A and B are shown apart, each in its own frame.
Chain A
Amino acid sequence: MKTIIIVGNGMVGFKFCEKFITHQTSKNYKLIVFGEEPRPAYDRVHLSEFFQNGDAKALEMAPRSWYEENHIDLITNERVTDIHKSKNIITTVHENNYNYDYLVLATGSAPFVPPIKGVEKDGVFVYRTIEDLEDMLSYADKIKKKKPNAKAAVLGGGLLGLEAGKAVMDMGLEPHVVEFAPKLMPRQLDLRSSKVLQVKLESIGINIHLNKITSQILGNGCITGMEFGEDPQLDVDMLVISAGIRPRDELAKTCDLEMGVRGGIVVNNKMLTSDPNIYAIGEVALYNQMIYGLVAPGYEMADVAVNQILGNTDVLMSPDIDMSTKLKLIGVDVASFGEPFMPPEKGHSILFENKTKSLYKRINVSHDGKTLLGGILVGDASDYNMLHQIYLNDMTLPDNVEDLILGPRGEGGGSPFGSAMDLPDTAQICSCENVSKGQICNAITEDNYENLAEVISCTKASTSCGGCKPMVTDLVNQTLKSLGKDIKDIICEHFNYNRQELYGIIKIKKLTTFDAVLDSCGMGDGCETCKPLIASIFASLYNDTANKEAVIQDSNDKFLANIQRNGTYSVVPRIPGGEITPDKLIVIGEVGKKYNLYTKITGGQRIDLFGAELSDLPAIWKTLIDAGFESGHAYGKSLRTVKSCVGSTWCRFGLDESVSFAITLEDRYKGLRSPHKIKGGVSGCIRECAEARGKDFGVIAVEGGWNLYVGGNGGATPKHAILLAEKIDNKTCITYLDRFLMYYIRTAAPLMRTAAWLDKLDGGIEQLKKVVIDDSLNIAQELEKEMQFLVDAYECEWKQAIESETSRQRFNHFINSDDRDDNLVFIPMREQSIPELWEK
């Protein structure tokens, strides 16, 4: 057995191990990994997340146990100090010696600390390791105690420097970024885009100082400020240096490996150094006379070294390294690819800038406008993946090249990008894991994987930075489609079906409990997505009320009330059509008064009583039910109200009794559970005071009968209902409504209102007319029968709840005490009370 020693347990060193063990022949080798940090390799790219959660474990590439399981010796906290290459031996800081057959140097880099007078002072940090961050955090705590408005500067306005700027802001310090160049991220951005980014960053509170050459760090022992030659000094209490990296190449010096003039260990395209048994990968390796400070080339180097050692000698490093990057910096998209800056002799640039929206887009094209050479995106990098692919694969550009950043304008504009399917098979989609379009598509066409999750787990595409996920999703969906396979909008991880399929299965198999459904066609234990969905299907099929299997009901259904901001509930009794007697109004008033409830008229012409404690709900409903009220189902995905105007009963313009018809409809469909809430309205004339066309179904009186409209709603995307039938009588209207509602309940996706459902229905309103009016599917009778069954099976679920001792129990706040929840705090609002406000 041969021994490979890997010096360095960073991201690239880890990737070497991960790639190595996937090879069959790896069993003939022993891997020993040395890391000088105390922890196993972690994700340095996402280091700033440590500030948000303080959880170092979450950043780990793999837990220590992973190394054990794969028979890799991981020795942390032990720095390698010498290489004796003539003897194939290394020595560690603790004077231990180890023999190797192959040595892989993945020592990475260290932050470059410029030789400025005073850098040794307390309060000056670098930004590289978790330990650095911990030291910064404790120092920040210390200075904040003395000085609440303490300031921190970051030296360096590059990618890492800006991340560090955000980090010190999160620590509660006033952030200042000091950059020597006249722009931010000088390697990736041009002056204009830097300006756009600067305006955006300043708006969120990060101060930017450009063109600043730091001449001295001031302070007596601890840093108190920075001096910039002739410019005014900046008073700061802490400094983070992020001024670039230097390769950790000191080991190479101990054994005379060939090095670059400015550092770095020289490697060839096999990742081999000047010694035939020593490889170097990652940020310590000098390839093409360059150090690549990005993770993707580092991963590729790891892969090359693995293959070279295992004898797959035709795997070589690409001659050109793509330095394109896309990242989300403090919530702002920033991307640059190819040649971001364009000298006029090579090509032309097309620019779009809108500082009011912090947007900047630039693409660089060849003089003839036929080739994309590079570009910069700030503020919105959603098109980065496609632009990057067009650049990498030298693809044909649209006639109007500007469409690439401006989008198609005018008539008949389709996507300027075409489809991801147009890419050549060799196109690299995931650069972190080096996965091509061909590999992704072949996973489906040849290896018979059937969905996104399977393709990702077999190819590893998008598992590292995740930037290519939308494109991978697109490729998987389009490939499945091209094979005629359904792209399933499955409910959740527990069921491989959509709602309509599950509805069919439950109906045919006559399943009546959640566990029965799970055992018959699901897996696992269920979750908050599938449980309420199946509860809703039970209700739609059998009119089971929410009392039957309370534990699978959505939070509001479970307690038959709407949970409010502080965990109390609101109570909404049904007031059909909005018609209510003075006596009933008095009862509502008395209940509100007794339980100190905040009372408000709802948009659906009824009264909402807010602030009821869970344990009071049964008593409140007892009083209401005794007075003749029923549940208003305001908490359910079910019929809410049928709103009415007063109609011909009183109105001098009214053509029909809209209140009476609204009450008939509300009474008929009350308690009807559906994919989403359903609202109705009835107006007595076309003045439409009931706003019926803003409802899922709207009925409007005209000369000669009712006009029936369907598929409207208010909400986030308001939509007017569309005419389904004209001048029909009450009976016909109910028949059509029965059919329409039942058809919707059977076929809609979960949480899909009728408007969205009608939008998606093949053939739209014309098809719906055929089904509902002409019975083209020959299901009208069935739909009516099912609806009549539900109408007949209606029971007020609040009545059920208060009559049964076991279902009353679920309303106790404590299971072992009659105490009230003492955590509730109310504050006054006008003449009523509301919950204490949430902290922002």
Chain B
Amino acid sequence: MDTILSKYKSTTTNNVKIWFKAAPISAFSEDGGACVKYKDKQIAVFNFKRRGMWYACQNVCPHKLEMVLSRGMIGDDHGIPKIACPMHKKTFSLENGENLNGDLDAIATYPVKIENDFVYIGFSE
């Protein structure tokens, strides 16, 4: 079971090797999420319109290891942008992946950039 989680390692803009072209901006609902397939990974991408930001993280929730985070709801916890898992409402910071309402492992987060109306996600591998 650890193998699912071990696929996902937080990446920062500094160690991006590949900017993966995921989909046009128009494909994403405003203030909502979608799941992007990259190789054998599932990445949840959020168009946080209200903050004017894009965020990406692993789609798998570390609680029960289901591929569902992209279907969750975004919001903020005292200013920290977060995603709430649709299964049991575990919430995670979209900035550093930290579990905000429990002591689950942090989720992996990935950088997002927008170029020519396309959404790119940064991977180190």
Could you list which residues of chain A lie within 8 angstroms of chain B, going by C-beta atoms? Answer: 49, 52-53, 493-494, 515, 518, 524-528, 530-532, 550-552, 554-556, 558-559, 563, 565-567, 614, 809-810, 813-817, 819, 821, 823, 838-839
Contact = CB atoms under 8 A, between A and B. Distances in A.
A816 B37 contact: yes
B76 A527 contact: yes
B73 A531 contact: yes
Contact of B86 (A551, A555, A810, A814): A555
B50 A525 contact: yes
Interface of B: 1, 4, 22-23, 27-32, 34-37, 42, 45, 48, 50-51, 60, 64-68, 71-79, 81-82, 84, 86-87, 89, 91, 103, 105
A819 to B, nearest CB: 6
Nearest to B31: A551
Contacts of B81: 525
Given A550-B29, A815-B28, A567 B75 contact: no
B39 to A, nearest CB: 11
A553 to B, nearest CB: 8
Contact of B67 (A53, A552, A567, A838): A567
A524 B76 contact: yes
Given A525-B75, A527-B84, A821 B36 contact: no
B72 A555 contact: yes
Give the top 5 A-B pairs by smallest Cβ distance, nearest first.
A555-B86, A527-B75, A528-B84, A551-B32, A815-B34
Contact of B22 (A527, A559, A815, A819): A815
A526 B42 contact: no
A815 B76 contact: no
A532 B67 CA distance: 22
Given A551-B29, A551-B32, A563-B87, A527 B23 contact: no
Nearest to A810: B29
A515 B87 CA distance: 25
Most buried by B among A53, A532, A810, A813: A813
Given A515-B50, A525-B51, A814-B36, A563 B76 contact: no
Contacts of B75: 494, 524-528, 530-531
Contacts of A566: 66
Given A525-B51, A563-B87, A551 B30 contact: yes
A823 B68 CA distance: 11
Contacts of B79: 524
Most buried by A among B28, B37, B68, B74: B37
B1 to A, nearest CB: 6
A814 B76 CA distance: 25
Contacts of A531: 73, 75
Nearest to A553: B73
A558 B27 contact: no
Nearest to A835: B66
A575 to B, nearest CB: 26
Contacts of B27: 809, 815-816
Contacts of B35: 813-815
Given A810-B29, A815-B22, A815-B34, 13 more contacts: A493-B78, A494-B76, A528-B73, A528-B84, A532-B73, A551-B32, A563-B71, A563-B86, A565-B64, A567-B68, A815-B36, A815-B45, A823-B42
30 contacts: A52-B103, A53-B105, A494-B76, A518-B50, A524-B76, A525-B50, A525-B74, A527-B73, A527-B75, A527-B76, A531-B75, A550-B32, A551-B29, A551-B31, A552-B73, A563-B87, A567-B66, A567-B87, A814-B42, A815-B23, A815-B36, A816-B23, A816-B27, A817-B37, A819-B37, A821-B42, A823-B4, A823-B66, A839-B1, A839-B65
A550 B86 CA distance: 13
Contacts of B74: 525, 551
A559 B71 contact: yes
A527 B82 contact: yes
B95 to A, nearest CB: 13
Nearest to B47: A551
Nearest to B50: A525
Contact of A823 (B32, B45, B67, B103): B67
